[in-house]
Structure 1
Amino acid sequence: MLQYPTWKKVLVLLICLAGIVFTLPNGFYGRVEQANDARAALEAGAAPTSEMTAALEGWPGFLPATLVNLGLDLRGGAHVLVEVQVEDVYAERLEALWPEVRDALRDLRGQVGTIRRVETTPGELRVRIGEQAAMNAAVDAVYGLTQPVATLTGAGARDYEVRADGDELVVTLSEAEKTATDNRTMEQSLEIIRRRVDETGTREPTIQRQGEDRILVQVPGLGSAEELLAIIGQTAKLTFHAVEQVTGEADAQTTGGNLLFPAMDQEGVYYILERRPVVSGEQLVDAQPGFDQNGRPAVTFRFNPAGGRAFGNFTAENIGQPFAIVLDEQVISAPVIQSHIPGGSGIITGNFSLEESTRLAILLRAGALPAEIQVLEQRTIGPELGQDSIDAGRIASLVAFVAVMVYMALSYGLFGLFANLALILNVALIFALLAIIGATLTLPGIAGIVLTIGMAVDANVLIFERIREELKNSRGPARAIQLGYEKAFSAIVDANITTFIAAVILFAIGSGPVRGFSITLGLGIMTSLFTALMVTRLFVSMWFDARRPKTIEV
């Protein structure tokens, strides 16, 4: 009798059953996807509809609902290549430096005389002083504001260069600091775009840097490239300002450097605001779609402790006064402060639809892009093209599957049927693992599955051939089967380990479709080892225990 402990039989059967259960939702992909979307909408606070109810009834909640992510080439979606305008950050850095330069020169007013900022081209900060003879002292004072560049390429360099040009002091970013700023800008842009896309619940997007200032974004399942750009293309810069005046003139004069911004939802209404914001979006820690007291869509927000204190102090000191909530240089709301608002939380109201409030909350949570982005390329891959790829992959898989099963049945008889049943379970386990770990299935990934189908029976072929050799050596059936598995074990493991190493290398150095292929190949190797060494042996053992044959044919 073959040695196969009861606990091991139970464990193998439970693993196979789990694989079938977790693979099952992928056989009803559209139905499960609709049910998942309906549940997500309800959890987000959306009002139930008949369509949601029908979707939920289409797939019971007690069943697993984890799906295999389909890549862009299978599901269709949006492809966008953008260029980050990193030069925009240079001007912002110099603008932020101006108050420090002004204060440093004011301390030397007795020497430098008058101080006046000169309008100039972007990338330069020019300050004219009254006493040109004191220019060296002015340069030294401003140079004292500079800091070493935190980059290996600029070791020993300072972040700003300060020089004299007649009676004007000129401040620019150093080349080392520009390089460091470019890298920081790209890293921040990548992270913010990733957070914005992830907030939409999109499955397995591809977001990666290309070259020095470009970012590639591919999102499977999204309706169009325009929809993707609507998510990632806005700067979503949120600030809160004190209101100086409301006017109907688009060219109204401002004083003291105040700002003039239009109202988002009121045509012909403009607000004159204090330039310095009370609180900025960088101090925002959370934003969620919700509803106001009248049941209209709105956005609730919450600041960090520092922002909460500033917001609380401002509202306490300005009760009865309006304050403006500004998003991307448009006033989206200008409520009157009714009372002190402690705790740093509040609500943004406006003429929002539920979709607009949800998108605004996403943009605010993700933060502002550090620089504008320019679209270089955009494509929408329709689901029909993806369906063609799925159909072609399905045909290839079925042909390979049937061919292998027919060969095994004809070559090894009953043992070949055991191998075929294990092969079916092998494919189920692959899809179950893909769903559980959240991997993305691409067209090369389907190729990896087809390759796995052929490799999966390779181990069984080695085992069955070993069993034949032992039978020829006059071994009894039980002993021949046991020796067949034992002697083929090392060859099977060695062959699969070498292939698995190749899959790991492909995953480590590859990207996109190459990774998709390596993932399915690696998972297929693991499931093939399990089904060949454990599942087929279980079937043979159970059959042998039940029949106790005196002779066998393999």
Structure 2
Amino acid sequence: MRNRGGILALVVILLSVSAYYLIRTFKANSIRNDAEAAAMTVDGNIDPQLKQRYLDSLWKQPVFLGTTLEDLTKQELGLGLDLQGGMHVILEVSPNDIVKSLASGTRDPRVGQAIDNAAERAVTSSDHFVDLFVEEFKKLAPNTSLARIFSTAANRGELSLNSSDIDVSNYLKAEVDGAFDRAFNIIQTRVDKFGVANPNLQKLPGTNRIQVELPGIDNPQRVRKLLSGAAKLEFVEVYEPNEIGPSLDAFSGYLNQQDLEARLSSIEDRADEQEAATDTSALANDLAAQLTGSGADSTGAATDSLFNSNSLSNLFINTGNGLAVRVKDTTRVNELLNRNAVKQLFPNDLSFVYDVKPFMNTSTNEELVSLYFVKNLGNAPLEGDVITNARQDYDPTTGRPDVSMQMNATGSRKWRELTAANVGQRVAIVLDGFVYSAPNVNQEITGGNSSISGNFTLEEASDLANVLKAGKLPAPTNIIEEAVVGASVGSSAVRAGVISSVVGLLAVLIFVLIYYNKAGWIANVALVVNLVLLLGVMASFGATLTLPGIAGMVLSVGMSVDANVLIYERVKEELNEGKPFATAVRNGFKFAMPSIIDSNVTTLITGIILFIFGTGLVLGFATTLLIGIFTSLFCAIFISRLIFEHYIKKGKTVTFFTNWSEKLFKDTNINFVDNRKKFYMVSAAIIIAGAISIGIRGFGLGVDFKGGRTYVAKFENTVATEDVRKAMEDAGFTAEVKTFGGFDQVKITTAYQIENTDPNVELEIQEQINGVVANIDGNAGEVVSSSKVGPTIANDTIWSSLKAIFYSLILTFIYIYIRFRSVAFSFGAVVAVFHDVLVILGIFSIFNGILPFSLDVDQAFVGAVLTLMGYSMNDTVVVFDRVREYLNDKRKANESIATVINNALNSTLSRTAVTGIATLLVLLILLIFGGETIRGFIFAMFLGVIVGTYSSLYIAAPIVVDAMQRQLTKEKEEGLKAAEAKA
């Protein structure tokens, strides 16, 4: 092995880096546990405000090797919603409302009809909404120019009455897409200010949708209102400190009084201890005297006393331009400012508002955020609906970035009045309760055209322009998919995941030891290192570990056995030929490499397809699977090789079998090929039976594919699904009820009001469902998790799933053709995979409602199908590699194709069996211990491994035999015709 020292150094570095990131994850979790302990109340509950205050206090502080808690949480192996509870939401920016607003100046009823028609088509179409609208409008008004509808004074610079329909369409698309970008920025700010640890917010590519994941949320209704509410943009006057001096003085006195009371209470507590009583009583009396005096002259105290170093007073910092607070103290400050005693000290129309953007205090290296005192927030003299346009521009005198803003006639009048009354004062631009800018008014502004200048960067000016445009159009966001997972469900999932992981790993390690003896120890070391690297890489990327991710992790460990098996079986063949141990090991690695690469590339193709098209459960699985492919490949090739080289250098050998496994699969001579027609008939019978079942019974479609709401309800005792269904029917719901994970738990699926996007509807339905399950014939129940999928996203899920399967087949066909240079191999592999998919579909239809767990066909099922396609292809490619090797062996040149392929199947049988058994062991354990959430997913994969192994042996290879024999027959016939033509 060349450059063994370099490879060993690389292994040490990778393990060290992985360990470092895993320790960071452990430290972050340790701090969160400390926060919960510090926030524990007397009755054993956790006060969320106290917990958040504890975390805020450490957010910017070094807590691990100079790393702050903020940085730790950005690169840690976080837990997904299914493992800790929380809420997952997919929002869609409503394009029909935007187009409707842009056309608000017209009275043509055909516009509204076209918008409604386009909205209906959008449910089942992936085309841009504007294109659908234009098509529908042209159907209703073929001779009407779009410019006559949408050209207004507000967009005079972009459209005119002479603009073409294409120009108008492009303008509408730009407005819709711009509204989406603005909505994303607004929601990102809302989420950042929501106080959730590790929120995940991302744009879904190719759509006007936003995915939001909020771990630990316990108030879904608040989240719905927060995320789906329209942006509120306000222009409000700012109270300067000199305007409210008496209020600030009174506030300072209040803070000092609170500080003294806290210190006095602390001293009195210490005085209760007998050994400290004498020392503390005098100090307590002295503080009590100070406290009595502080109340008398508190209103006359200097404003600067706000900035004393006392406990509460020290929360506020005088920056010279106003007040600021440390970002880590905002939770505590909010609690303080919301006290009624504090509110009464200030004018009734005053509100405390933070700046949206923190800044760094370079002298103390602390992150601060400005605090403004604004007037009439919520009842502003001017709101964002008057803005017609805003853009990033440049100040003509300084050349620095600024923002140009235009208003309509009403806004121009109100803006003139507001600026005239505040010359020399500040006016704050407030969006969703946060100040984005507070420019100083230099003069009365008339005409509605304004320039907002300041010390802006280009990015800040662009962001402010987007904020101002957020008030230009109503861009409400509709929740089209959501899932709420209760904390108790999450803790149960953690237990299931940990148990299944540990037991699955142990099962694989024991099996490998039993089968390969001492060489099994080497493989197990590689597997354990693989697991450490896998977790370390995920932590370094800040990946989120989900229950399917755990399944993918354990499965990748099971499948990583395959590379070791391929190497070991080759080494055993070399040893059986009498070659020295060192030569056998090196040849084993060399000859196994093509099969290892081919099998991993086919699995990689599947993993990439899953990653691109999957969301939620499937995406979590794909992420872990992709990382696992690379780490397992590295460990099998390098870790195992390093250990073998160590033994070779020492002059030692390693045994590759036990007494039990030595003769297993040795000299097997099963005739796979000659019996192929019998197995064709068996497969055809299963597929036909499945097709009949699909035609008669259909599938149990999951909510992913048909849309609707799903609730998982847990009862104190065993409950009959029919009783729950009848109770739902009596309450006015048409619902499907299934047992879910035990006879005391059910899954309720209903399409009731699924197209209603009003966020209040969710609460109403939730309350109705809670009322139904609260008491079923004396059996108390509660909803522990819920999910919702709108009809639009259900349709998109179907199409994305079909595309994922199609692309996977095409890419695999191309790869196999490139590697084997024969259509016969590509055809055999694709037919075998297609066979596997049809068999699994048939089984899911036949046994739906019979087996005691869900066999719904949903996105998780599609993920399982794609994974089994990858596994089946993996198995098939290994056989094909051996077939190619035998076909190129001149010693086998005189053998028939059937004989060559039959020998190849027998020679790889041990590898097929060992890999299959190891993978089935893991899947069986996941099926038993993995939890109800992934049971249908794992069952599909369990069946897939069996069916995939069967098809590799009895379908794929025999089809290659038939195809190649037909090709040879055709070539012979063409040769005879050519010879006859020459004669």
Q: What interval of TM-score do these two structures reach, taking the shorter chain for normalisation?
A: 0.5 to 0.7
> What does residue 428 of structure 1 align with?
532
- In structure 2, relative to structure 1, the CA distance for the partners of 1:542 and 1:549 (3 Å cut) is closer
Q: State the Cα distance separating 1:420 from its structure 2 match.
A: 1.0
The aligned runs of 1:101-500 (5 Å cut-off) are 124=106, 154=134, 157-161=145-149, 182=176, 184-186=178-180, 188-194=182-188, 196-197=190-191, 203=198, 205=200, 217-226=212-221, 228-229=223-224, 231-232=226-227, 233=229, 235-239=231-235, 287-288=357-358, 298=371, 305=394, 324-325=427-428, 327=430, 344=454, 370-373=474-477, 380-500=484-604
Q: State the Cα distance separating 1:452 from its structure 2 match.
A: 0.4
> What does residue 549 of structure 1 align with?
652
- In structure 2, relative to structure 1, the CA distance for the partners of 1:322 and 1:229 (3 Å cut) is farther
Q: Deviations over 1:441-480 (max 9, x none)?
A: 2222111112101111111112122222222211112111
Amino acid at match of 2:149: E
- Identify unmatched segments of 5+ residues in structure 2: 37-51, 109-127, 136-143, 152-160, 240-342, 362-367, 374-391, 396-400, 406-415, 444-450, 457-463, 658-983
Aligned partner of residue 357 in structure 2, secondary structure:
strand
- In structure 2, relative to structure 1, the CA distance for the partners of 1:465 and 1:54 (3 Å cut) is same
Match of 1:77 among 58, 71, 86: 86
Aligned partner of residue 474 in structure 1, secondary structure:
coil
- In structure 2, relative to structure 1, the CA distance for the partners of 1:536 and 1:17 (3 Å cut) is farther
Alpha-carbon distance between aligned partners in 1 of 2:501 and 2:454, rounded to the nearest angstrom: 57
Q: Comparing both structures, which one devotes a greater share of its residues to helix?
A: 2
Alpha-carbon distance between aligned partners in 2 of 1:445 and 1:382, rounded to the nearest angstrom: 19
Alpha-carbon distance between aligned partners in 1 of 2:402 and 2:453, rounded to the nearest angstrom: 6
Alpha-carbon distance between aligned partners in 2 of 1:441 and 1:512, rounded to the nearest angstrom: 11
Alpha-carbon distance between aligned partners in 1 of 2:618 and 2:372, rounded to the nearest angstrom: 41
Alpha-carbon distance between aligned partners in 2 of 1:197 and 1:54, rounded to the nearest angstrom: 17
Instruction: Check whether the contact 1:79–1:225 (CA below 8 A) recurs between aligned residues.
Output: no
Alpha-carbon distance between aligned partners in 1 of 2:347 and 2:478, rounded to the nearest angstrom: 28
Alpha-carbon distance between aligned partners in 1 of 2:614 and 2:96, rounded to the nearest angstrom: 31
- In structure 2, relative to structure 1, the CA distance for the partners of 1:62 and 1:540 (3 Å cut) is farther
Instruction: Check whether the contact 1:208–1:216 (CA below 8 A) recurs between aligned residues.
Output: yes
Amino acid at match of 1:484: G
Q: Comparing both structures, which one devotes a greater share of its residues to strand?
A: 1
Amino acid at match of 1:431: L
> What does residue 12 of structure 1 align with?
11
Name the TM-score, length of structure 1 as normaliser: 0.61
Aligned partner of residue 511 in structure 1, secondary structure:
coil
- In structure 2, relative to structure 1, the CA distance for the partners of 1:8 and 1:376 (3 Å cut) is closer
Q: State the Cα distance separating 1:197 from its structure 2 match.
A: 3.1
> What does residue 282 of structure 1 align with?
none
Instruction: Check whether the contact 2:89–2:212 (CA below 8 A) recurs between aligned residues.
Output: yes
Instruction: Check whether the contact 1:4–1:541 (CA below 8 A) recurs between aligned residues.
Output: no
Q: Deviations over 1:366-395 (max 9, x none)?
A: 966843456688764233322221221111
Alpha-carbon distance between aligned partners in 2 of 1:49 and 1:453, rounded to the nearest angstrom: 38
Q: State the Cα distance separating 1:74 from its structure 2 match.
A: 1.9
- In structure 2, relative to structure 1, the CA distance for the partners of 1:304 and 1:549 (3 Å cut) is same
Alpha-carbon distance between aligned partners in 1 of 2:56 and 2:213, rounded to the nearest angstrom: 29
Q: Deviations over 1:267-287 (max 9, x none)?
A: 8759xxxxxxxxxxxxxx973
- In structure 2, relative to structure 1, the CA distance for the partners of 1:299 and 1:316 (3 Å cut) is closer
> What does residue 615 of structure 2 align with?
511
Alpha-carbon distance between aligned partners in 2 of 1:467 and 1:309, rounded to the nearest angstrom: 71
- In structure 2, relative to structure 1, the CA distance for the partners of 1:416 and 1:383 (3 Å cut) is same
Instruction: Check whether the contact 1:150–1:180 (CA below 8 A) recurs between aligned residues.
Output: no
Name the TM-score, length of structure 2 as normaliser: 0.37
Amino acid at match of 2:523: A
- In structure 2, relative to structure 1, the CA distance for the partners of 1:296 and 1:125 (3 Å cut) is same
- In structure 2, relative to structure 1, the CA distance for the partners of 1:52 and 1:460 (3 Å cut) is same
Q: Kindly report the root-mean-square deviation, in angstroms, between the aligned alpha carbons of the 2 structures.
A: 5.4
Aligned length: 431
Aligned partner of residue 601 in structure 2, secondary structure:
helix
Aligned partner of residue 298 in structure 1, secondary structure:
strand
- In structure 2, relative to structure 1, the CA distance for the partners of 1:396 and 1:366 (3 Å cut) is farther
Identity %: 25
Instruction: Check whether the contact 1:460–1:532 (CA below 8 A) recurs between aligned residues.
Output: yes
Amino acid at match of 2:219: S
- Does residue 1:25 correspond to 2:20, yes or no? no
Q: State the Cα distance separating 1:498 from its structure 2 match.
A: 0.7
Alpha-carbon distance between aligned partners in 2 of 1:469 and 1:378, rounded to the nearest angstrom: 55
Aligned partner of residue 459 in structure 1, secondary structure:
helix
Instruction: Check whether the contact 1:318–1:337 (CA below 8 A) recurs between aligned residues.
Output: no
- In structure 2, relative to structure 1, the CA distance for the partners of 1:314 and 1:223 (3 Å cut) is same
- Identify unmatched segments of 5+ residues in structure 1: 38-46, 95-121, 127-148, 164-170, 244-263, 271-284, 347-360
Alpha-carbon distance between aligned partners in 1 of 2:349 and 2:653, rounded to the nearest angstrom: 96
Q: State the Cα distance separating 1:364 from its structure 2 match.
A: 6.8
Q: Deviations over 1:199-233 (max 9, x none)?
A: 76853625567999986633234453355356534
Instruction: Check whether the contact 2:182–2:467 (CA below 8 A) recurs between aligned residues.
Output: no
Q: State the Cα distance separating 1:8 from its structure 2 match.
A: 2.2
- In structure 2, relative to structure 1, the CA distance for the partners of 1:29 and 1:223 (3 Å cut) is farther
- In structure 2, relative to structure 1, the CA distance for the partners of 1:308 and 1:85 (3 Å cut) is same
Q: State the Cα distance separating 1:16 from its structure 2 match.
A: 2.6
Amino acid at match of 1:287: K
